[in-house]
A and B are shown apart, each in its own frame.
Chain A
Amino acid sequence: MTGGAEKKGQVDRLPGLETRLFDIPEDKFIEVVRLLERVRDHPDVRQTFAAIRPRLVQVRPNRRPTLKRVLCMPFEDVLESFSGVDVPLGRIERRVIDPVWKLVTECGDTALIDQLDRQVQETAPGNLNALRNIGRRLWPMAAQAIRGAVEQDGARHALWRVLHGDEDLQRQVLDVAAFLEIGLTVESLKDALVPKPLPAFEDEHVGVIEQAVQAVARQSTGLVYYLLLVAASRMANPADLLTVLNDLDFGKARCEQPVIFAQLSGLVVTNLEERSARLDGNGYSAGPGVAAAAIAPEEAIAIAERLVASVNTTSAVMDFLAEPVYRERLEAVKTAVRTMVTGTVLDTASGGILTAVAAPAGNGRPAAVDEDAQAAAEDHARALRRCEGLADALGLHEPLKTAMTSMEKGLMARAHALLAQYPKAAGDPDDAETAEINLFYALRLLELVAGPAKADQLRTAIMAATGEFAEE
């Protein structure tokens, strides 16, 4: 009974901790994470880690190193993100990690694993060089163990038990082996391609990629493709890699260059399709088969901007190489993006922007100022303005113009209605102030939607009504 009560107490305590872990200061958060990591195998602690993942991603505390984490280093950039919003090229699903770890521990050199495990436990969090030194011995052994499990008859039963015949999983496990084989080159490439995401390639970045490609090509020409996946995943716009690829000297892999380019371009397009398939008029879905959740207009625009940038880069490269086969597929991606932007930003503009300007009450008293609604409406208005940058690419000029004109007219009408009611509030200082702030907030929305020149007419009218700067 006592044991049960204690267990229940633990279960009750941890969920409370999860919510508090979002509020405590960053240094305390890191301290608690360190403590929890010591007992991370406990199911409740695992659940807690899952719940606090958004803050872990944001704070990125140096986690306590484990051998499993060292194993993942060469392919961590191509692991799918937790949010599912951006999908890296050649993505490895997180569900692959456990089977890979099992294969390595069952089919690999157990003495070496034990030795390296002890070394990891003595390594301080954040000591990247020490972890890479451990990886230098772990990764080739692990790659060999995985390939052995796939290729040797004797080890196939282990593979079957771990992968349950899942072919997609098996393909990804083999991809992991490829990343592990070039682990050290990948790690030095990661050092050169910073910060992640890299906004654009500079000459020195291209030089480093070229050297890394040549080094990997000397090892095995078939591994160059995987190195390039890592390079692409570190870019803000992964399709940028395509623009520099044909200028690189692939060294020993020179003959394979056209094939690798074709593979990567195909992957870029497929990736864009995969990402756009998650969009609909409501927003963005976290994964295949998951219903799209409504997203804020500004977030929708940010997603659209990233996708359109990728589509534009890819289209430019494909057009240059006269590859019409992709044109239709890229157009379909743009159509999906357009549907999402239309649904989340343009069609909802009226409810998102106009309704923040409260209609005057019948009793002549001004409506209370709602600053949360104003802040949301301003975000929506900014998203609408940012659509201008996407209009060309998505063919949104007409619907955008219609939405902007409608917002401008609607805001002007509502502001003038408030202005007409203003004299009724002017007698009472509190009412007058509330009415003036409502007017100024409407003015601000008009400024965001229609620009300062058009808003200035309303400003003049407001100042004339309030008489604030009238000559005495």
Chain B
Amino acid sequence: MLKGAIEYAPSTFEERGAAVAFTTPLLSQTRVRRGERSKLEVLIPSLSQGMGIYVVAWKAVPDMVSMTMHDRYLHDLIVKEDACSPHEIRRATLKAARRGLAGPQAAQAARRALEEDEEQSTLTHYLLILAILKAVGLESPEMLKAGIDTDEGQRLTRQLMTRAAESLKMDATLLYSRLADIAAVTAPVGLARSPRPGRLTRGLNDLKAFRDSMTGWANDVPSDAAPVAQFCAEVAQHTIAIGDKVLGDFHRRVEAIGPLMRDWDSEIVRVRAQAGRMAWLLDGWSHITGAWEVAQAEDHHQQAATVNDLFRILPLLPRKESSRDFVEDAKQVKLAHRRSVRMLEDWRTGQMDIDAIRRIEAVKARVP
């Protein structure tokens, strides 16, 4: 059940695992991954002042930790759906929050997020149709005028897409199916010229604001937590640098919709991998940027406590993703600031800290 504390130095994102937005403070942002024989397992950071990580079989978690009702539901849902990727975990998390188990505000935020996903998916689909038509020289002002959600607009679209398929020397059904595939891959990131950036692009922008705010805080606030905040900003910066590069490359490939359709087999694999990489890169950050935004209304003492809490759950880049060994650097920060970076202690008493749960739920209420 419990494999004992291990040194945590993941090589890949998959090995690092996907962050789960649990509301139990001890489990908040713990990571789930596929372990031996593809069984789900969870990584719980040091239950004491130690440096290790505990690897626990996913199914055994409720027996080890007293969980909130939200987390019991989410846990069961993840088992049922065998969810493991950031996308699957996010969907499960939104579904659990929508049931009201993290409070009414989180339920409203989850409903909004799911609606936005739908809208973003429709918008991306529409923009991709326009891109294909433009690529084959079939732009139609009539279609734009009618709008894609009217009968007339849809009739015109079908007509033009059939001609586009002919032009691309492929079957119309195949064109539609590939279009659906690209839309599904692209919607979370968003297209470069989309009027509304995709969820992951917004996440990257939030991370930039977080980096700036953390750097400012580390410089302006005299606190033991200042070097910890500086480290958080550095990890964010490295993530941003990779994210900007991946995003630029992703947008270039999707923009070149003609070549993408022609060299489908190899191109879609690359595009899918880049979208997946964006999701893994930003996994776990939305809670962190949201928690820091919530902390802006609080005093410096509480902000310092938040910095230390965030340090504990910082999504450190795996070894294969960065030349810098962040895991080792984090250890040094922890050693140097042992006094301020304290580990969670409520596992000893089994008591639920309702204030800590409330703070986590407050983040959930604003960050879907």
Interface residues of A (CB under 8 A from B): 195, 199, 369, 371-372, 374-375, 378, 382, 385-386, 436-437, 440-441, 443-444, 447-448, 451-453, 455-456, 459, 463, 469
Chain A residues in 8 Å Cβ range of B80? 469
6 closest pairs, A vs B, by CB? Answer: A371-B104, A440-B100, A469-B76, A374-B104, A375-B104, A447-B69
Q: Chain B's interface: helix, strand, loop or mixed, by majority? A: helix
Would you call B100 and A452 a contact (CB within 8 A)?
no
Would you call A385 and B354 a contact (CB within 8 A)? yes
9 A/B residue pairs, CB under 8 Å, sorted by A? A195-B299, A374-B100, A440-B99, A444-B103, A451-B352, A452-B72, A456-B72, A459-B69, A469-B79
Least CB distance, A319 to chain B, in whole angstroms: 29
**A444-B100 contact given A195-B299, A453-B66, A469-B76, CB 8 Å threshold:** yes
Minimum CB–CB distance from A34 to chain B (whole Å) comes to 23
Contacts of B68 in A (CB 8 A): 447, 452
Nearest CB of A to B39, in Å: 18
Which partner residue on chain B sits nearest A379 by CB separation?
B358
A382 touches B69 (CB 8 A): no
A448 — which chain B residues lie within 8 A by C-beta? Answer: 354
B164: Cβ under 8 A from any A Cβ: no
Residues of B near A195 (CB, < 8 A) are 299-301
Q: With A382-B358, A451-B352 as known contacts, state yes or no: A436 contacts B69, CB within 8 Å.
A: no
Closest to B299 in A: A195
List A contacts of B79 (CB < 8 A): 469
> A199-B301, A459-B73, A469-B80 known; A443 and B352 CB under 8 Å?
no
Residues from chain A with a CB closer than 8 A to the CB of B76 are 463, 469
Contact bitstring B94-106, A, C-beta under 8 A = 1, else 0: 0000011101110
Q: Is the CB of B105 within 8 A of A375?
A: yes
- B67 at the A/B interface (Cβ < 8 Å)? yes
| Of the residues B67, B99, B103, contact of A452 by C-beta under 8 Å | B67
Q: Work out how many contacts link A and B, with CB atoms closer than 8 A.
A: 59
- Chain A contacts for B100, CB-based, 8 A: 369, 374, 437, 440-441, 444
Q: List which B285-299 residues lie within 8 A (CB) of chain A.
A: 299
Beta-carbon contacts of B74-112 to A below 8 Å, as 1s and 0s?
A: 001101100000000000000000011101110110000
Contact B301 A443 (CB under 8 A): no
In the assembled complex, the CB of A332 is this many whole angstroms from the nearest CB of chain B, namely 30
Q: Write out, one digit per residue, whether chain B residues 56-75 have a CB within 8 A of any chain A CB (1) or not (0).
A: 00000000001111001100
Closest beta carbon of chain A to B66's beta carbon, Å: 6
Are B66 and A452 closer than 8 Å at their CB atoms? yes
Residues of A within 8 A of B67 (CB): 452
Minimum Cβ distance to chain B for residue A192 (Å): 12
A371 close to B99 (CB less than 8 A): no
CA gap between A447 and B73 in the complex, in Å: 13
Q: Across the two chains, which residue of chain A brings its CB closest to B72?
A: A459
B68, B69, B101, B108 — which one has the most chain A CB atoms within 10 A of its CB? Answer: B69
With A371-B108, A375-B103, A444-B69 given, name 13 new contacts (CB 8 A): A195-B300, A372-B104, A374-B100, A378-B103, A382-B358, A386-B354, A440-B99, A440-B101, A444-B100, A447-B69, A451-B352, A452-B69, A469-B80
